[in-house]
Amino acid sequence: MPDATGLELTAAELQEAFPSSILGTEFHRGRAALLADAGKAHDVLERLRVMGYTFLASLLGVDYYPEEPRLGVLYELLDFKRVDRISVKARVPTDEPLIASVVDIWAGANFPEREVYDMFGVVFEGHPDLRRILMPEDYEGFPQRRDFPVGGEPVLFTFNEEKSYGKWQ
């Protein structure tokens, strides 16, 4: 992890290259994170790759309900030469959940972006095949959002098969 000073230097370098791209930094429990403007996140991530963070370890969706902007995308990057890790967080509102795809930077972002789209409704502009990956294509809603109704269709397990459907013969 870059230390707190290294994080601030990295943020300053990115801010110089892309004005107003870094909204803040977080250094908590030894974890360094950059808070990036969603409109400039692609540029920030591309520059971080050039700076040595060549491996996209994970790409996750987050729902910060009730805060706004509510939806977040979290990128975990690794630099193997310096044995370093940094996170980049970008947030988008639910009424216009758009962020640029990073599949052109890391091909491995393909399925994680599809999963975040499927579960949270974040649209990755420029993604080569943005469609649902876990839920059926005709499924309505985004199951990982905090306002998604709990319950839904009953799932049949062995402990409830008699209650739900009568005894199997």
pLDDT one digit per residue (tens) for the chain, 169 residues = 567 788 999 999 999 999 999 999 999 988 999 999 999 999 999 999 999 999 999 999 999 999 999 999 999 999 999 999 999 999 999 999 999 999 999 999 999 999 999 999 999 999 999 999 999 888 889 999 998 877 766 655 666 566 555 554 4
- The CB density around residue 112, as the number of other CB atoms within 10 Å, is 21
- The three-class DSSP label of residue 53 is coil
Q: Report pLDDT for 164.
A: 55
Environment class of 10 (CB within 10 Å of its CB; exposed 0-12, middle 13-18, buried 19+): buried
Q: Report pLDDT for 33.
A: 96
Q: Report pLDDT for 169.
A: 47
Q: Report pLDDT for 24.
A: 96
Q: Which two tokens stand for residue 130?
A: 């943005």
Q: Report pLDDT for 30.
A: 85
| pLDDT over 90, % of the chain | 77
Q: Which residues contact 22 (CB under 8 A, 6 or more apart)?
A: 11, 14, 15, 34, 35, 36, 37, 44
